[in-house]
Structure 1
C-alpha cells in the first residue's frame, strides 16, 4: 500500500510539473538580452536583412518588449513552436508583425521569460 501511494504521488507530481511548462495562447512573455549578438531560438531577421530594410542592425530595440503568444504548434519531434506578437500591437524592427520561437529552448536559454 505504501509503494502504491508513493507511485501515485510521484506520477501526480510529474504531471503537475509538465503542465506548468505548457504554453497557452494569450500567455505574456518578456524578451531578454542575450550574451551573444543574435538570438538563437527566436527567429528574428538576420542583421543583413535589417540593414537592407534601413534599420539598425542590432537587437536592442526588442529587449524588454512584452510579447503575447498568438499560436502554439507542436512538431512531430516534440518541439513546441510559438508565434509571438507584440503586446502593444507594434511591429518588430518596423516591418515584421509576428515572429516564431522554439518555446522550450528559448525559455531554457533565458531569451524569453514568463510574466507573472
Structure 2
C-alpha cells in the first residue's frame, strides 16, 4: 500500500514540476514600442545584434553604445518550439542599426527579464 501511494505521489509531483517549467508567453502585437537599455554584461544576450566583425565588413560602425536608449517597434513576431517569443525589431526613427541593418531579432521574454528591453 505504501509503495502504491509513493508511486502516485511521485507521478503527481513530477507532473506539477513539468507544468511549472513551461514559460509564460508574452502577448505581443505589431507596432509595440520598446526601449533598448544598456546590457548588464559587456554584450547583449537576448537582443541579437550582429557580431562586430560582421558589422565592420559591411562598412558599419560597431559601437553598441549607439543603440542605448533607442526606441524600437515590433515588426514581426513568431513563437518558437521552446515556448519563446522571437520578435523582429526596427528603429522608430527610421534609421538603420549600425548604418547597415534595418532590423534585429530578440527573444522577448528573456530580453525583458534581463533588462535589455523595456516597455
Question: What range describes the TM-score normalised by the shorter chain of this pair?
Answer: 0.7 to 0.9
Corresponding residue for residue 54 of structure 2: 49
Q: Does 1:25 align with 2:27?
A: no
Corresponding residue for residue 77 of structure 1: 82
Corresponding residue for residue 16 of structure 2: none
Q: Does 1:87 align with 2:92?
A: yes
Give the secondary-structure state (helix, strand or coil) at the position aligned to 1:50: helix
Q: Does 1:106 align with 2:108?
A: no
Question: How many positions carry a matched residue from both structures?
Answer: 96
Name stretches of at least 5 consecutive residues in structure 2 with no aligned partner. 1-23
TM-score by length of 2: 0.74
> Residues 36 and 68 of structure 2 are in contact (CA less than 8 Å); yes or no, is this contact kept in structure 1?
yes
RMSD: 1.6
Structure 1 residue 87, shift from structure 2 partner: 0.4
> Residues 111 and 117 of structure 2 are in contact (CA less than 8 Å); yes or no, is this contact kept in structure 1?
yes
1: CA distance, partners of 2:80 / 2:62: 31
Give the structure with higher Rg (CA): 2
> Residues 89 and 103 of structure 2 are in contact (CA less than 8 Å); yes or no, is this contact kept in structure 1?
yes
Give the secondary-structure state (helix, strand or coil) at the position aligned to 2:64: coil
- Output one character per residue of 1:61-107: Cα deviation in whole Å (capped at 9) or x when no partner: 11110000011100122110001000011100000001110000000
Name stretches of at least 5 consecutive residues in structure 1 with no aligned partner. 1-17
Q: Does 1:64 align with 2:59?
A: no
> Residues 62 and 98 of structure 2 are in contact (CA less than 8 Å); yes or no, is this contact kept in structure 1?
no
Structure 1 residue 34, shift from structure 2 partner: 1.0
